[in-house]
Structure 1
């Protein structure tokens, strides 16, 4: 295995957590999953975004920081690989979409302080799905507070992610996941397993399933 810290990212409903579980099992890796359900501001945010966006994002950043700092910097003699279903930079990307300019500037100052203490993944797997498929997945998993997410919001999140990855030339396996079914199709998972054996240069490596 070329990579010891693998992170999976993508839009809401892209299938990050499912893939993280499958990869961790295949690689006998330590698994880090975002604890989004613990955020008391999440349902409130979808009801009233303007009023609840700032506490929502602050709570997420604090929780992600604590989780990643505790787990990434704790050695594990039996599991040398870590798989996570998010990167810390997710905080900044969602905040950029959700916060007004003045609040975002304050948030970014706090983020910059915390980021210096968090390890960045050796490689990022980004799952790119069209908004129509994201909405289908969101409906399927049936979290009540997510059922009225607007297409425009998902599109904005998608654009923010892809712009960040390209602008920063991050080492990324960029997966066209419109037809992906990692849970039911072993071949799709194997494509990623094979890709993770390759030592890529910086930038994006595109895979279509």
Structure 2
């Protein structure tokens, strides 16, 4: 495999952490997982989003930056494979959905200061799942604060991801997750491993499993 730093991304409930963990185990890679459970504002945000959106997003951005900076600085990107289950840009994308205009403007200024300091992944694997499957996965993993996430919020998040991927030169492997299950169907995972042997062009590369 030619990729040293791979990020798995997707909407809430798309299966990012599961796939990133499976790939890291297969390639004996360093694994960077988002520590969302440490964010004290997350349950409060789902109850009162207008009141807690800004501290929620600020906390996420600071923690993601610290985690990525420390891990990437301590590794040799030319010899070690690194897997993560989030892009740092997701801080800005989610803030765009959750924050009012004035707060987002301030947030973006902070983001633009620190984003250039981070190494970007060689490959983005994007798990493109329909809203009904996202909601099924959210219910199945049974995190109490996620159970009332509205469909419209998931659609807005998806739209922000798509806008970013289409407008920025990101080498992306887009996977339709409608009928894909990497845990229950080992063949799906095997096909992805085969696909990772290819050299992909910058832009969106669609993969059907």
- 1:148-188 Cα deviation digits (max 9, x unpaired): 00000000001110111011131100000111110121111
Q: CA deviation at 1:71?
A: 0.1
- 1:55 maps to 55
Q: CA deviation at 1:208?
A: 2.0
1:102 matched to 2:102? The reply is yes
Deviates more, 1:57-66 or 1:168-177: 168-177
- 1:86 maps to 86
The separation in 2 between residues aligned to 1:22 and 1:75, in whole angstroms, is 20
Q: Give the match's secondary structure for 1:116.
A: helix
The separation in 2 between residues aligned to 1:28 and 1:187, in whole angstroms, is 20
Q: CA deviation at 1:61?
A: 0.2
Residues 13-162 of structure 1 mapped to structure 2, 5 A cutoff: 13-75=13-75, 80-162=80-162
The separation in 2 between residues aligned to 1:194 and 1:204, in whole angstroms, is 18
**Contact map agreement 1:32 1:82 (CA 8 A) in 2:** yes
The separation in 2 between residues aligned to 1:185 and 1:23, in whole angstroms, is 15
The separation in 2 between residues aligned to 1:130 and 1:156, in whole angstroms, is 12
Q: CA deviation at 1:72?
A: 0.9
Normalized against structure 2, the TM-score is what? 0.97
The separation in 1 between residues aligned to 2:5 and 2:137, in whole angstroms, is 27
| Structure 1 spans left out of the alignment, 5+ residues | none
The separation in 2 between residues aligned to 1:86 and 1:94, in whole angstroms, is 12
Q: CA deviation at 1:198?
A: 1.0
Q: CA deviation at 1:76?
A: 5.4
The separation in 2 between residues aligned to 1:124 and 1:31, in whole angstroms, is 15
The separation in 2 between residues aligned to 1:65 and 1:50, in whole angstroms, is 24
| Structure 2 spans left out of the alignment, 5+ residues | none
1:9 matched to 2:9? The reply is yes
Stretches (4+) displaced over 4 A: none
- 1:190 maps to 190
**Contact map agreement 1:39 1:56 (CA 8 A) in 2:** yes
- 1:79-123 Cα deviation digits (max 9, x unpaired): 710000001001000000000011001000100111011110000
